[in-house]
């Protein structure tokens, strides 16, 4: 009898609760993916058409029902064509996950080296584009540039972005805690509402953020502003402290206080200079 009661408890309490929790998680995760891929407009359009069909069905609006039934197949095909970039991003997001990440991750010390380089690029009005790879592979982007295998350091990063070097117009890619390529070309953003004042670097950073889960640091050559692009969004003109806190959070890093590490890097840089 006790065994039967336990089975009843599992079937009537545990399994329904698990069912609700899993469904809630899927709905929440799906909503997050829609926001990240800017496919909310697609969902709104689908809900509007579904509501219009329901009204037509219950009110027996035969002409409208005939028109909707006639256009429905063409509508589905049209959505697949028009929203193909968004649908691709949705399926890309579904395959992302921390458990898929391989190799060593960047360390706080390496992030601070990047920040130190970013500050110097900003002060001297030299543009920069630095990519932190996360779960998804950036092989195509890496192969578009010059393959490098080097330690992440302020001096190395600054060397890539000198005006008279052939690699200064491309992006530096950091994966597995190492600089893996320089002078790499990034895909430009497909968004139509991007600021006209944004140059190629910002559009390229946003383009990669739309197609991958990478985090991209951008330094403007015109204004010296430092920005971050990730999850299909560009966060413009951040302070160095904001960039620091977001990078440490996005890259899931922990350790010594970042400000203390950065002070040590700046002191070493002053001694070297």
Instruction: For 180-195, write each residue's pLDDT tens digit.
Output: 999 999 998 877 666 6
Residue 114 clears pLDDT 80, i.e. is over it: yes
Distance CA 49, CA 70 (A): 13
Classify strands 233-238 and 226-230 as parallel, antiparallel or unpaired. Answer: antiparallel
Amino acid 82: pLDDT: 63
The DSSP 8-state label assigned to residue 188 in this structure reads: P
Q: What is the DSSP string of 118-130?
A: HHHHHHTT--EEE
Taking CA atoms, 265 is separated from 84, 100, 114, 259, 271, in Å, by 45, 32, 10, 10, 10
Q: Give the range among 73-87, 199-213, 222-236 with minimum mean pLDDT.
A: 73-87
Give ranges for CATH 3.40.1700.10 in the chain: 102-272
Average pLDDT over residues 108-112: 85
Model's pTM, two decimal places?
0.60
Instruction: For 152-183, write each residue's pLDDT tens digit.
Output: 999 999 999 887 777 888 899 998 889 999 99
Average pLDDT over residues 102-109: 59
Per-residue confidence band for 48, with pLDDT thresholds at 50, 70 and 90: confident
Per-residue confidence band for 268, with pLDDT thresholds at 50, 70 and 90: very low
Classify strands 233-238 and 146-151 as parallel, antiparallel or unpaired. Answer: unpaired
Give the DSSP H or E segment for 215: strand 215-219
SS3 236: strand
Segments in the chain forming alpha helices (H): 2-9, 15-37, 40-58, 62-82, 84-94, 108-123, 139-143, 154-160, 200-211, 240-250, 258-272
Amino acid 74: pLDDT: 75
Amino acid 58: pLDDT: 84
Q: Evaluate whether 225 touches 236 at the Cβ level (below 8 Å).
A: yes
Amino acid 186: pLDDT: 93
For residue 149, count CB atoms less than 10 angstroms from its CB and return exposed for 0-12, middle for 13-18, buried for 19 or more: exposed
Distance CA 216, CA 187 (A): 13
What homologous superfamily is domain 102-272 in, according to CATH? DNA integrity scanning protein, DisA, N-terminal domain (3.40.1700.10)
Three-point CA angle 207, 209, 213, nearest 5°: 145
Residue 257 clears pLDDT 50, i.e. is over it: no
Average pLDDT over residues 139-155: 89
Residue 246 clears pLDDT 50, i.e. is over it: yes
- Where b means 16+ CB within 10 Å and e means fewer, 162-186 reads eeeeebbebbbbbbebbbbbbbbeb
Residue 256 clears pLDDT 50, i.e. is over it: no
């Amino acid at each position: 009898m006790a065994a039967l009661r336990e089975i009843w408890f599992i079937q009537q309490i545990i399994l329904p609760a698990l069912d609700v929790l899993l469904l809630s998680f899927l709905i929440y995760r799906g909503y997050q993916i829609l926001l990240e891929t800017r496919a909310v407009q697609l969902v709104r359009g689908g809900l509007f058409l579904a509501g219009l069909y329901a009204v037509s069905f219950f009110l027996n609006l035969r002409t409208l029902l005939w028109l909707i039934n006639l256009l429905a197949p063409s509508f589905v095909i049209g959505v697949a064509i028009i929203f193909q970039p968004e649908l691709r991003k949705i399926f890309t997001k579904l395959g992302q996950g921390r458990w898929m990440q391989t190799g060593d991750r960047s360390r706080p010390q390496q992030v601070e080296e990047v920040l130190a380089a970013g500050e110097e690029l900003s002060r001297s009005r030299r543009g920069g584009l630095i990519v932190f790879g996360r779960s998804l592979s950036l092989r195509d982007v890496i192969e578009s540039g010059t393959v490098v295998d080097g330690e992440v350091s302020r001096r190395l990063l600054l060397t890539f972005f000198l005006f008279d070097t052939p690699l200064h117009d491309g992006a530096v890619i950091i994966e597995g805690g190492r600089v893996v390529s320089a002078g790499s070309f990034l895909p430009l953003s497909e968004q139509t509402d991007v600021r006209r004042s944004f140059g190629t670097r910002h559009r390229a950073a946003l383009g990669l953020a739309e197609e991958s889960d990478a985090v991209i640091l951008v330094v403007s050559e015109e204004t010296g502003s430092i920005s971050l692009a990730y999850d299909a969004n560009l966060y413009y003109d951040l302070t160095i402290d904001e960039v620091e806190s977001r990078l440490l959070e996005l890259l899931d890093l922990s350790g010594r206080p970042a400000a203390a590490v950065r002070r040590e890097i700046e002191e070493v840089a002053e001694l070297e200079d």
